[in-house]
Amino acid sequence: MFTHSIRRRLVIGCALTTAAALALGACGRSSDSPAAGGQATTTISDGPATGELSVWAMGTEGENLPKLMEQFQQANPGVKVNVTPIPWDAAHNKFTTAITAQTLPDAAMVGSTWMGEFADLDALDPTPQGFDNAAFFPGALDTTKVGDTQYGVPWYVETRLVFYRKDLAAKAGFSTPPTDWPGLKAMAKAMQEKAGAKYGINLQPGGTGSWQTVMPFAWSAGAEITGPDQKEFTLDSPAMQEGLQYYQSFFTDKIAGTDLPPNQTEAQFVNGTAPMFISGPWMAGSVAKAGGEAMKKNIGVFQLPRNKTATSFVGGSNFVVFKASKNKDSAWKLVKWLSEAKTQTDWYKLSTDLPAVKSAWTDPSIANDPLLPVFGQQLEDAKAPPAIVNWEQIAAAFDTEVEKLVKADQTPADTAKAIQTKAAAIGPGGS
């Protein structure tokens, strides 16, 4: 059964859109930071949550969260949770304005690429003792860490797999999915030569967000975005060039194309024009809707192919507590409750957001789905960019160079050098 929402949530953060937000994003931490009122929480007290809590959440999560909060309030009769839904396109500016004006909520859903910026502004309360970090998918947990400090916990997750038409794969001579780089390319080529596809795979030819498809190949080749201290970029390494060369080769070999109309991935998959693509779990329901009942049985997914590793991208949202909260103890009790396996399962059934807690994936609602368990397997090897303040600007520069790589035949070496040069000029940001 395909239960996922067909929307694509931009849950990893949004580009800064105003000069004020850019200026704020470039600020460093200081002793007179407006968000720095109150000491960091080190432990969570025993007993139920009490008092009032203000919570912000974006998009449909903000619309659905009040239903889940009814359960929390029943378990904690002395607490009242007020949820404010916020549109994604207004969220970043609302947060940064609230940091300046000291009007932050107690807790909030936060896009993972905002973590570095908000931590640098001294707005986030470090995660106290009492959380079982081993319960989370490791890549998702890493998105909560800025330097050596953890802020909040992963709330829900997503990762990317290769979607493919099982019927056309069989026609192309593949009874099982490929597991390595040569195998993916061979399958894509066979989709053209034996199954009648115009292109074997639909890959993004640059443009906004293309780094999310390219970086898994670079990570799988051994590349890293920064050094261990997250202060120096390593975007021009031989491993990065290897990932870029592999990605470019699909276009130079005409296995992927630059002429596919955008935003028609589902239709191109259903009509066989491009019977493979790389995307997240939301596309399962979207493709099923586009193809009808007959298409469902022919939708397959497999993990990203292996080079040195088989690493994919991890996205999602985290839940944080703000340092300025006047009720941090109860706010952390809420975050801990959101991290319980049962709560995560209940939230999945309510929202179709995939759990960040691994044990929740044993629930039949997920375990018995024909596709979802593969996403769970991929989440064991998935990464996100480091939590640096200026990542959104660096990502935009990355996207521009990917487009040159694909459409203007820029060499992988020159592409990597250009990304590195732009990233170094922008800098990681922060203090």
Going from N- to C-terminal start, the domains of the chain cover 19-157+314-383, 161-311+389-426
Fold annotation for 161-311+389-426: D-Maltodextrin-Binding Protein; domain 2 (3.40.190)
What per-residue confidence (pLDDT) applies to 39? Answer: 63
Picking from 162, 176, 137, the residue whose alpha carbon sits closest to that of residue 371 is 162
Averaged pLDDT for residues 140-162 = 96
Question: Poorest-confidence range of 16-25, 316-325, 330-339, 414-423?
Answer: 16-25
pLDDT band at 431 (very low <50, low <70, confident <90, very high): low
pLDDT of 184 strictly over 50: yes
Identify the helix (H) or strand (E) that includes residue 117. helix 115-120
pLDDT tens digits for range 68-127: 999 999 999 999 999 999 999 999 999 999 999 999 999 999 998 899 999 999 999 999
pLDDT of 29 strictly over 70: no
Averaged pLDDT for residues 156-179 = 97
More confident residue, 431 or 382: 382
Question: Poorest-confidence range of 34-48, 138-152, 354-368?
Answer: 34-48
The DSSP 8-state label assigned to residue 233 in this structure reads B
What per-residue confidence (pLDDT) applies to 41? Answer: 73
Picking from 161, 197, 369, the residue whose alpha carbon sits closest to that of residue 269 is 197
Picking from 399, 397, 385, 394, the residue whose alpha carbon sits closest to that of residue 429 is 394
What per-residue confidence (pLDDT) applies to 109? Answer: 98
pLDDT of 254 strictly over 80: yes
pLDDT tens digits for range 294-347: 999 999 999 999 999 999 999 999 999 999 999 999 999 999 999 999 999 999
- pTM > 0.85: yes or no: yes
In Å, what is the CA distance from 8 to each residue of 5, 68, 280? 8, 22, 8
Let me know if the fold of 19-157+314-383 is the same as that of 161-311+389-426: yes
Fold annotation for 19-157+314-383: D-Maltodextrin-Binding Protein; domain 2 (3.40.190)
Averaged pLDDT for residues 180-197 = 98
What per-residue confidence (pLDDT) applies to 35? Answer: 42
What per-residue confidence (pLDDT) applies to 38? Answer: 52
Q: DSSP secondary structure string, 187-219?
A: HHHHHHHTT--SSS-B---SSTTTHHHHHHHHH
pLDDT of 20 strictly over 50: no
pLDDT of 383 strictly over 60: yes
pLDDT band at 10 (very low <50, low <70, confident <90, very high): very low
pLDDT of 215 strictly over 90: yes
